[in-house]
Each structure stands twice: as C-alpha cells, then as structure tokens.
Chain A
Amino acid sequence: MAKTHHGAGRVPRLLARLLLRALPTVVGVVVLIYFFLRLVPGDAADAIAADAGAATSAGMEALRARLGLDQSLITQFGQYVWGLLHLDLGQSVRYNAPVIDLIWQRLPDTVLLMVTAMTIAVALGIVMGMTMARFAGRLPDRLLSVLALVFYSVPGFWIGLMLIVVFSVQLGWLPSGGSGPIGRAGQGWAGVLVKPRYLLLPSVSLGLFYLSIYARLTRASMLEQAGQDYVRTALAKGLSPRKVMFRHVLRNALLPVTTMVGMHVGAMLGGAVVVETVYNWPGLGKLSFEAILSRDFNVLMAILLLSSFLVIAANVMVDLVHGWLDPRIQET
C-alpha cells in the first residue's frame, strides 16, 4: 500500500487528473470575470482622459482604436484569451507597462506576506487549539476561547492601525509601513536582515482572523477524535497518551485544518487588499486597489485570474496533503 502510494508516475497522473477536473472552473472563471469586468461603466480611455484632465472626442476615438476598444466584445474576448494562452496579459493603462511585468514586480512581496501570515496562523492556531482541547472546559480553555473569538471578530485593517499606534507611534519599535528601507539600506544582506521588522505587523494583522479559525477547528476536531474507538484501542495496547495524541489524534485532527488552509489562500489575498493598503505594502493587494481606482481593467483581470489559479492550485495541494495525512483517502 505504502509502496504504490509513493510509486513513480503517481504524481504526474494525479496532477493530470486534478487539472482536468479544474478545467471547467478555469474556463468558467475566465468567462465570468471577463464579461463581468466589462460591465464597469467607463473604460480605460475614460480613465486616461480623466488622468490627463482634458480630452477631445476625436482624441478619445483614436485612443479607443489604439486600445482595441472599438471592436466587438466577442472579438476583444477572443483576443484576450489568445493573449492569455501566450502569457500576454495586456497593457496597463495606468502604469503604461505590460501587466505581466507589474504582476511579477508585486508578486514576491505578496507571497512573502501571505506565507508569513499563514505560517503564523497555522502554527499558533494549532498550538492554541491543542491547548484548548487539552484543558477542555477548564479555565485555560475558556480564556483562549474568548481570545479566539476576539481575533475572529476584529477587523484586520483596524488591528493593523492599532498595532501601528502601539508599536510604531508610541513605542517606536517597528516601522509603520513599507516593505523595507529606501535606498542603500534596503539592499543586499542588510535589506534581508531588516525585512522581518517590516513584515511582522502586516502579517499579524492579516493572520489573526485565520489563526482563530484554525484554533477553534483544531480544538473541535481534537475533541471529536479523542472520543473515537481507535484512540481507546491505541491506549489499551499500551501506547503512551502523548504518542497517541501526536501520532494519531493530531494527525487526524489536522485534516479539516488543511482543507481550510487551502480554502483560505484566496480569501487571504482579498484581505491583503486592505492590509497592504494600511501598511503601504507594495504587493498585489495594493496594486488591485490602485487598479480599481483607475479602472485599470487589464490589471484587475490579471489579478483576479491569478488569484483564482492560486486557489485552484491550493486545492490540488490540499488533495495531495490529505493523501499523505490519511493514506486511506485515495484520489477519486
């Protein structure tokens, strides 16, 4: 069983199947988002004209023709998909640069932020949930439950601002925004070393909400697992409670947590829009906010598509992790 499980060719086969399954979703998302975004009143030409402050109607026509906006919607969609297949996401009218370049430029900071926030959320969430389950019904459990509910109810952008007030304005310990020092101090090893100082507050603001979900989920599923027959059997055959806890109960209790993490990868990018704006973090979230304000259609489309693909990829990852955590789950 374990042999075939890790056998050669399994992962490519599994990937092919998962991608095939994701195909209708991918097509649906592309169509939905494209036509949805075209409902936005005012097009890129309007935005450029508004930026410039003045426009003649002849100038607007020329601009629309140059941007391809004078063609039929279906033609434009066809051209977009054709470009998409060649990794050409079009041109940003706001930044006057290829969208793909903008994305590549902003992606690393967002990935860094999200990975840090998710790591904090998962690690602390599981520890918190285990502690709550360990002391179920007693004081530590009650206190931590209240804390989890507080984290669950607090708006991320507000906790971000309050952290700035405490740690940047009052105490002066951490920077209040940006992703690194400007100029020479931000380069090379010095830049790497100061990065965590800029990263800490935004990732805590972004991660707290998810931390509370994982804590509550871990608690609930550990209590659920602890009542199962296999736990009694494991204890009866003489395994130490500690071993049962970590090798069996936790392993099974983590299944719902991994499912949630997969689902939250996309949601977190939504949260990043707000948190990156609060902290002036130069990532995709801030880029999408700027794109909304300037009606930068191509940029928005690219970010929505990228995040959708990210979600689909995360779901595939979760399926793989599930197979590892519980070998009984075969890919179906």
Chain B
Amino acid sequence: MTDMTTTTAMAPAGSRALRLFLRNPNAVAGMLILATVLFAAIFADLLAPGDPLTMVAQPFLWPGQNPAYPLGTDMMGRDVLAGIIHGSRVSLAVGLAATATSLLIGTLVGAITGYYGGWIDRVGMNLVEIVQTPPNFLLLVVIVAIWQPNLPTVAIGIGAVSWPTLARLVRGEFRAIRGKEFVTAAHSLGFSDARIIFREVLPNALPPVVVTSSVLVATAILMESALSFLGLSDPNRVSWGSMIGEGREMLRTAWYLAAVPGLCIFSTVLAFNLIGDGLNDAMNPRLAGRE
C-alpha cells in the first residue's frame, strides 16, 4: 500500500510531513473534531456532573424544547447531553486501548515473522490466516461473551481480532528493510537481534504503521458501538452505542434518541479517518502530489 522506506534522515522529512499535514484542511478539520471529543471526555465530570444514568427531568423532551436540556431527555427522563458527554469516554478509551492492543500483538508478530523469515514466518503467517478467516465481528462477539462484558474485555477483544492486518503490514516493511545496508552493518557490529529489530528496523517501519493506527482507532470505535448497540458490552456504562440501542425501541415516536448519539459516533470516526488520510498524504508526498 505505502512504500515508504525512510532511509533518508528522519527529522527534516518529519517536519515537512507535519507542515503538509497542517496545511491539509481535511486533516485540520479532523483534529478539531477530535479535540472537541477529547475535551468532552476529559472534563466529562465538570461538564455534566453526576451519574448520567439518573433521571433529571420529564421523559421525551425533544432537543431544544427545554434550554436546560439542549439535546432533550430519553424515555427515562435522563439527560441526553450528559449521556453523550460521558459516552465520549467509552468510545475514545476503548478505541485507543483496542488499537494499543492490536499494535502490540501485530507489531510483535509482524516484526518477528518479517525479520526471521523461514519456518517462523510460515508458522506466524498460518496463525495470522487462521485468526483472519472467521469474520472479525462474529469472533469479537464470542470473545466478549466468553469473558465478562466490561470495557477492558471489549478493548482487548477488539485488539485481538484486528491485529492480523497490522502484522501483515509490519511483516512487509520488515522484509523490505532487513536487506538494507544499515541492517547488514548492524549485524556486523554484533548487535543482538532484539536490538536490531526494535532500535534499527522498527523505527524505519513506523510511518505506515502510524497511518494504519488512525484507521484502526476508527474501526475499533465502530466495533465498540455495534457491540454496545446489541447490548453485548458493559451494561453499567453509558456509551453512544447503548444509547442508540435503547433509542431504537422509540424509533417511531422519538427518533432523535437514536439520531444524536449516532452523529457523535459518525463524527468521531470521521475525525480519525480524516487524520489517517492526512497522515498518509503528508508522509507519502508522491501520491498526494497527484491530486
């Protein structure tokens, strides 16, 4: 997909990439949306004090009907805005933790198979193929059902089904880089395999990994929302997906209950995708220049 081999000095390329990234209106829009969501997640307890699951007003207030509850209330009289603000925590936390999990597994498997090759590569790739064969989401649903449905399980589960993509990507980068002169030089200096993998090759394989991570966060947020929509995630936490799941019962009379949290999921996922696109263009000027 991306054939970035940053054998040239990293620093100037990095700052140029940053300039290109900041000049991309889509990427900046993505950063702004993300900053808003991040703000809501960090200051949730100040912005909407108290438990978002408590009843605060009469049920079924439409958005705008009562200025105290700008996004209205649900069938139990709970403040929709408070749910949205607290729900941002779940989406971001699960999205980031899931991506960290798949980065950990995917990078490790990809680095080891790509670096050593031979039978280790064959075994590793077989494992990747086996995990990749059953549908991701179906596997995730089963994993979450096996353990208790709480946020750490959901995050680890999402990571556990989405690492193969990353492993393939890292493996490809490692195979391309391991034959380069500076790796041979590192070998002849007597560096250990671990040091060569993590200190020499991995930093050069990172740019495409960074781009993919952004998209992985987006996908993880989508998966989390689908899980909690189905009621298979943590029942004690308000999340955007669970709000839609409850609002679904009232679709005919109070469609805003499903619409509002959905817009939040959409904007957050869009933000990560915009950032991912921006990073890709900035780090891959050859492709961006063609547009």
Contacts and interface: CB of A to CB of B under 8 A. Distances in A.
A40 B126 CA distance: 25
Given A28-B126, A267-B135, A274-B229, A137 B142 contact: no
Interface in B128-143: 129-131, 133-142
A288 B138 contact: yes
Q: How large is the interface on A (under 10, 10 to 19, 20 to 34, 35 or more residues)?
A: 35 or more
Contacts of A274: 137, 226, 229-230
Given A36-B146, A150-B266, A162-B259, 7 more contacts: A37-B146, A149-B274, A157-B229, A162-B258, A292-B142, A292-B232, A308-B134
B84 to A, nearest CB: 14
A308 B258 contact: no
A161 B248 contact: yes
Contact of B244 (A158, A165, A220): A158
Interface in B202-216: none
Contacts of B248: 161, 278
A158 B266 contact: yes
Q: Is the interface of A mostly helix, strand, loop or mixed?
A: helix
A165 B273 contact: no
B265 interface: yes
B251 A266 contact: no
Interface string B225-236: 110011010000
Contacts of A54: none
Given A157-B226, A157-B244, A304-B138, A24 B251 contact: no
24 contacts: A24-B126, A25-B133, A40-B146, A136-B290, A152-B273, A153-B269, A155-B266, A155-B269, A156-B226, A161-B251, A161-B255, A169-B251, A169-B252, A169-B255, A220-B287, A266-B135, A269-B135, A270-B138, A270-B140, A274-B137, A274-B230, A277-B230, A288-B141, A289-B141
Contacts, number: 136
Contacts of A32: 130-131
A273 B133 contact: no
A278 B259 CA distance: 14
How big is chain B's contact interface, by range? 35 or more
Interface in A158-203: 158, 161-162, 164-165, 169
A114 B226 CA distance: 18
A292 B141 CA distance: 8
4 nearest interchain CB pairs? A270-B137, A270-B135, A158-B262, A28-B130
B74 interface: no
Nearest to A24: B126
B277 A149 contact: yes
A274 B265 CA distance: 16
A312 interface: yes
Contacts of B269: 153-155
